[in-house]
Chains A and B, each alone.
Chain A
Amino acid sequence: MRAMNRLCVRLGRMAWGCGAPIRVRPVESRQLLHTGPRSLTYAKQLFLGLIAKEEVFPYPEISNEELEEIKQLVGPVEKFFNEEVDSKTIDQNAKIPLETLKGLKDLGLFGMQIPEEYGGLGLSNTMYARLGEITSLDGSIAVTLAAHQAIGLKGILIAGNDEQKAKYLPKLASGEHIAAFCLTEPGSGSDAASIKSRATLSEDGKHYILNGSKIWISNGGLADIFTVFARTEVTDKDGATKDKITAFIVERAFGGVTHGKPEDKLGIRGSNTCELHFENTKIPIENVIGEVGGGFKVAMNILNSGRFSMGSASAGIIKKLIEMTAEYACTRKQFNKKLSDFELIQEKFAIMAEKAYVMESMAYLTAGMMDRPGFPDCSVEAAMVKVFSSEGAWQCVSEALQILGGLGYMKDYPYERYLRDSRILLIFEGTNEILRMYIALTGMQHAGKILTGKIKELKKGSLSAAFELMGKKLGSVMHRKINLGLTGTSGVVHPSLEESTKKLEENTYYFGSAVESLLYRFGKTIVDEQLALKRVADIIINLYGMTAVISRASRSISIGLQNHDHEVLLANIFCSEAYMKNCYMMTQLAKYCPENQDDSIKKIAKHVLENRAYTCSHPLDRTF
């Protein structure tokens, strides 16, 4: 059976290699088309209260050939996961069996985004996301694959030179070598300054000697190729030496690489996570990724590019869970009524469907944007997808467990495993808290650059600026209709989504004003207003989600996809909910900290942290 699959894939690959009609545009050729980096991206424009509709409308599509190719790929992979992957055993033994790994390698899943010339599948981001839906059915495998190619070898792929690519990528693509990404250290999570690993240039100047330890390295025990970040001494233009981070490709064969025993984890137990120690590891200088001292940018780029696929992966999990729980809810009877007849159970299914729909829409919209020619910077969008989908997945898995009641809690059923596995989504690849800061601050920086002049004039007391502001305020008091051009004669949205679109436009418009007033109030000290920034991030995530569902549902109706009326329902319900939430959060943003509870939050936290304990007297305590 496996041989058949392999044959299929190989055949497919051969066909592309010969330039057959089902050829996908490989990564390289796509990059030739670009016409310089584009500065505009959708999310950043939202911070100015503008909708760059050409970026997100119409919803990105792939060609029929690509679709055909995806189907060819998806079939065997799905079959493999359904028939040959035993997730329960993987979870219990905390190890992925060798034959399963071999099957994954044979399917080419270790080189999904590696260009074909290096022996990979050369998938676009969209197709990568599609396969992610299936590989996520087993959390351990998904994480192993992601650690390998979304971060592990990404450094070579995006910043490596041709020799490095030619040397390493073929073996990584075939899965002969597995890659790992080594950044985290015992004393350093996201703080580059506390990285202790150090690489010093040898006397002959041909090698770097690497010393240091890394912790929680996914695939650390399996990998042969490591992307390692370490401090190196760099001489400035003016001659001063400075410590800077440099990225290296380290082979296990270089010697001096040892790893600890695999960590015992809550979820994704089958994935291999362990400590790594480098002791006088000799790295040839040609193994520096990018330039010496440029490791920080490499790390940021790798991290920023790896996140978007989590949306489709989470959607894949939820879709699977909906199938499983719906089966149960429609067969189990209580009081001569099926579980599915109870409204409270129905609600849970609605929530799951809605979340899955939004995640999917956001993920493929982002993937589509990333696949466009040029080097579109979609890191903010990718971060939004990650935050929304990881939280949605956690909520939905929990709801699924709730539908099943006690049964979901049992180890005999897979649900608790899904719950454990999905918890990591909120933590890795940048915790959601950190990503919220990234989303909000990146947008604020963008908006700030454009609005600085205007705000300064306003502060100086310029009349025209004040009048403009008053006009705006007056307009909002008189409930002026806001039209950002998505609907109407030159509109891009189907009329059945007009209401939701109006909500999106209104939210966007007022979000722009909210951002402006935040910049006016806090200026560059907004960095320290994390509670406000969290709201900003939540609003922008909602706005992006609204855009994604409106765009997708619009397309579905327009081209008459199956069940498009259901899509419209899902889109509308999400937009209404998000609209209410956004309105609430914007009201809070407009208030000063004593009024929106931020003050109280800070005070409570301060007290608790000063005492490092919950200090309230016990309810049974007395004073006399």
Chain B
Amino acid sequence: MRSLRLLIAAHKLGAGLGHTPAVEPRGVQFLRAVHTSSPPGPPVNTSSTTVARFEDAFAKDQRDKASFVQVLDLFCGRDVRRRGHIELIEAALRWMPHFGVEKDVEVYNKLLDVFPKEVFIPQNFIQSMFLHYPRQQECAVRVLDQMEYYGVTPNKHTLFLLVQTFGKLSHPVKKYQRLLYWFPRFKHTNPYPAPLHLIADPVALSKVCLERIAADRDAQLTVYQLPSSEVRDDGTVLEHAHLVGIQSPDQMCLLADHDPEHPVIVEGPFPLWLRKTCVYYYVLRAEPTAKIKEELDPERCFYYPLQLSLDLERDLGDDLSFDVDEVEEGPVYAMCMTGSGDEKTLGKWIQCLQETNPVLGQLPVLFRLTSGPQEVSPPVQEESESPKEDTRPSEEEEETRPYRRMEQ
């Protein structure tokens, strides 16, 4: 009953305002628009003019949180009845990503604060039974939907605003409860969360990425080369791209045991997605070889036998391993990330690796590079041999060429 009275009062006030258009012509126009046209449906289509006006309000040069909040404050301060709040909120929701506030719960709260308080709370059972103020409730749900889309968990203040606006048993509050039921549960589902804000520095970013792929806590990160530019004598500028590599002690052991008969392969670039950024990495690997089963030395352990000389196998009932057809994969010996994926830089990587893995000096190295996006602009030159290649025997030279030709 109270709300009805309020409504009538508001209507009268609006009508009164309509008679005095001098003060705020825009508000009046907007008010009329609301009252004259009330067809059901999405508010976006209700009136193109009013919506466009709010779009104008957001079409600013300076787009940040402060200016976004400023628009909302301006609207709230202009009119105590908040005429056109649904349109404003709809527009605001669309503009949020442009202002970079789509993940800010405070801004969402501010947005929900735009709704006039208490007027939409059902006062009797009939109102409770039917959808009371459906457009307002749907609008609030849309705000919460957008929060859901961007993974923003609403907080206590959100609930406070929703209860104040729509009452405890309203749809927005239900939506809020569902969000709050699922979001905390899903918060830590990803055991390998990507950092929220990626670092711009390519070296630091490479470090993060390599540690992420390597997944070995013992792995050693090495920055082989920092990005720099060098002016040559003939005036040309030589750019040195960054070169960051990672290798674990286990990989070093594997590489040391590598059979020198077979070449090792530098392969890449492979993409790695971190949220919305894609980076590329290269691996040093080898083709899978037949595994030699290691014979345990009977004189290995001073204290207890490491194996029993019994002719009994494990019983089926205790064999809990799954029968999996595994694709034979060769070992990966090291990984790196670099600003330019040409053979020269990668050759430098191999050269640097050789300091800690002397065995690389005796191994033939094949470069099996696909043209990644970074390689599009600078064409790979046949002549630019890596320093490593000089030490290679000549037959490998032949071996590498077909691959290189294949890429080009």
> Do the two chains belong together in a single complex?
yes
Within the complex, the shortest CB–CB distance from B319 to chain A, in Å, comes to: 9
Q: List the one stretch of A416-424, A470-478, A514-522 in contact with chain B.
A: A514-522
B305/A612 in contact, CB under 8 A: no
Contact with A along B243-267 (1 / 0, CB 8 A): 0000000000000000000000000
Q: Is B198 an interface residue (CB 8 A)?
A: no
B303/A521 in contact, CB under 8 A: no
Q: How far is the CA of A137 from the CA of B105 in the complex (A)?
A: 70
For B301, give the chain A residue with the smallest CB separation: A190
For A244, give the chain B residue with the smallest CB separation: B299
List B contacts of A448 (CB < 8 A): 308, 310, 312
Q: Is A89 an interface residue (CB 8 A)?
A: no
Q: Is A452 an interface residue (CB 8 A)?
A: yes
A525/B314 in contact, CB under 8 A: yes
Given A522-B315, A624-B184, the answer on whether A452 and B310 have CB atoms closer than 8 Å is yes
Interface residues on B, range: 20 to 34
B217/A612 in contact, CB under 8 A: yes
> Of A296, A442, A452, which contacts B312 at CB under 8 A?
A452
Main secondary structure of the interface of B (DSSP, over half): loop
A245/B299 in contact, CB under 8 A: yes
Task: Choose among A244, A299, A452, A521 the residue with the greatest number of B CB atoms under 10 Å from its CB.
Answer: A521
Q: Is B228 an interface residue (CB 8 A)?
A: no
B310/A445 in contact, CB under 8 A: yes
Within the complex, the shortest CB–CB distance from B85 to chain A, in Å, comes to: 27
A521/B184 in contact, CB under 8 A: no
Within the complex, the shortest CB–CB distance from A452 to chain B, in Å, comes to: 6
List A contacts of B313 (CB < 8 A): 523-525
Given A521-B315, A592-B317, the answer on whether A437 and B304 have CB atoms closer than 8 Å is yes
A183/B308 in contact, CB under 8 A: no
Given A521-B314, A522-B318, A624-B184, the answer on whether A527 and B302 have CB atoms closer than 8 Å is no
Q: How far is the CA of A526 from the CA of B305 in the complex (A)?
A: 12
Q: Is A410 an interface residue (CB 8 A)?
A: no
Q: Is B128 an interface residue (CB 8 A)?
A: no
Q: How far is the CA of A455 from the CA of B314 in the complex (A)?
A: 12
Given A624-B153, A624-B183, the answer on whether A592 and B318 have CB atoms closer than 8 Å is yes
List B contacts of A592 (CB < 8 A): 317-318
Q: Is B66 an interface residue (CB 8 A)?
A: no
Within the complex, the shortest CB–CB distance from A610 to chain B, in Å, comes to: 9
> Of B184, B217, B303, B308, which contacts A526 at CB under 8 A?
B308
For B181, give the chain A residue with the smallest CB separation: A624
Given A522-B318, A523-B315, A624-B153, the answer on whether A445 and B308 have CB atoms closer than 8 Å is yes
Q: How far is the CA of A200 from the CA of B217 in the complex (A)?
A: 38
For B299, give the chain A residue with the smallest CB separation: A296
List B contacts of A441 (CB < 8 A): 304-305, 308
Q: Is A191 an interface residue (CB 8 A)?
A: yes
Within the complex, the shortest CB–CB distance from A592 to chain B, in Å, comes to: 7
Contact with B along A423-453 (1 / 0, CB 8 A): 0000000100011011001101100110010
Within the complex, the shortest CB–CB distance from B317 to chain A, in Å, comes to: 7
Q: How far is the CA of A522 from the CA of B307 in the complex (A)?
A: 13
Q: How far is the CA of A378 from the CA of B121 in the complex (A)?
A: 88
List B contacts of A303 (CB < 8 A): 302-303
B315/A434 in contact, CB under 8 A: no
Q: Is B196 an interface residue (CB 8 A)?
A: no
Within the complex, the shortest CB–CB distance from A168 to chain B, in Å, comes to: 23
Q: Is B311 an interface residue (CB 8 A)?
A: yes
Contact with A along B312-340 (1 / 0, CB 8 A): 11110110100000000000000000000
For A459, give the chain B residue with the smallest CB separation: B315
* A side interface size, CB within 8 A: 41
A521/B317 in contact, CB under 8 A: yes
For window 174-197 of B, CB contacts with A under 8 Å fall at 180, 183-185, 187-188
Q: Is A350 an interface residue (CB 8 A)?
A: no
Task: Choose among A190, A193, A438, A525 the residue with the greatest number of B CB atoms under 10 Å from its CB.
Answer: A525
Main secondary structure of the interface of A (DSSP, over half): helix
Within the complex, the shortest CB–CB distance from A342 to chain B, in Å, comes to: 43
Q: How far is the CA of A477 from the CA of B307 in the complex (A)?
A: 35
Q: Is A456 an interface residue (CB 8 A)?
A: yes
List A contacts of B315 (CB < 8 A): 459, 520-523
For window 388-402 of A, CB contacts with B under 8 Å fall at none
For A448, give the chain B residue with the smallest CB separation: B310
> Of A296, A455, A520, A612, which contacts B302 at CB under 8 A?
A296
Q: Is A583 an interface residue (CB 8 A)?
A: no
Q: How far is the CA of A448 from the CA of B313 in the complex (A)?
A: 12
List A contacts of B305 (CB < 8 A): 438, 441-442, 445, 527
Given A296-B299, A300-B302, the answer on whether A623 and B314 have CB atoms closer than 8 Å is no
Q: How far is the CA of A434 from the CA of B301 in the complex (A)?
A: 10
List B contacts of A353 (CB < 8 A): none
Q: Is A593 an interface residue (CB 8 A)?
A: yes
B312/A456 in contact, CB under 8 A: yes
Q: Is A192 an interface residue (CB 8 A)?
A: yes
List B contacts of A437 (CB < 8 A): 303-304
Within the complex, the shortest CB–CB distance from B300 to chain A, in Å, comes to: 5
Task: Choose among B155, B308, B314 the residue with the greatest number of A CB atoms under 10 Å from its CB.
Answer: B308
Contact with A along B59-87 (1 / 0, CB 8 A): 00000000000000000000000000000
B310/A624 in contact, CB under 8 A: no
Within the complex, the shortest CB–CB distance from A535 to chain B, in Å, comes to: 15
Within the complex, the shortest CB–CB distance from B157 to chain A, in Å, comes to: 12
Given A521-B318, A524-B307, the answer on whether A190 and B312 have CB atoms closer than 8 Å is no
> Of B187, B301, B309, B311, which contacts A623 at CB under 8 A?
B187
For window 464-494 of A, CB contacts with B under 8 Å fall at none
Q: How far is the CA of A168 from the CA of B349 in the complex (A)?
A: 59
B302/A524 in contact, CB under 8 A: no
For B188, give the chain A residue with the smallest CB separation: A623
List B contacts of A459 (CB < 8 A): 315
Q: How far is the CA of A244 from the CA of B313 in the complex (A)?
A: 31
B310/A190 in contact, CB under 8 A: no
Within the complex, the shortest CB–CB distance from B104 to chain A, in Å, comes to: 16
For A524, give the chain B residue with the smallest CB separation: B310
Given A623-B188, A624-B155, the answer on whether A438 and B304 have CB atoms closer than 8 Å is yes
Within the complex, the shortest CB–CB distance from A593 to chain B, in Å, comes to: 7
For window 241-295 of A, CB contacts with B under 8 Å fall at 244-245
A190/B311 in contact, CB under 8 A: no
Contact with A along B286-311 (1 / 0, CB 8 A): 00000000000101111111111111
A452/B311 in contact, CB under 8 A: yes
Given A244-B299, A245-B299, A624-B180, the answer on whether A522 and B314 have CB atoms closer than 8 Å is yes
Given A592-B317, A623-B187, the answer on whether A445 and B309 have CB atoms closer than 8 Å is yes
A449/B310 in contact, CB under 8 A: yes
Given A192-B299, A296-B302, A435-B303, the answer on whether A524 and B312 have CB atoms closer than 8 Å is yes
Can you report 19 residue pairs joining A to B where beta carbons are below 8 Å apart?
A190-B302, A191-B301, A192-B301, A193-B297, A244-B299, A299-B302, A441-B304, A442-B304, A448-B308, A452-B311, A459-B315, A521-B315, A522-B314, A523-B310, A524-B307, A527-B307, A593-B318, A623-B183, A623-B185
A-B pairs with the 3 shortest C-beta distances? A523-B312, A623-B184, A438-B304
Seen from chain B, the residues whose Cβ lies within 8 Å of a Cβ on chain A are: 153, 155, 180, 183-185, 187-188, 217, 297, 299-315, 317-318, 320
New A-B contacts (9) at CB < 8 Å, excluding given A524-B307, A524-B313: A190-B301, A191-B300, A303-B302, A448-B310, A521-B317, A521-B318, A527-B305, A527-B307, A623-B188
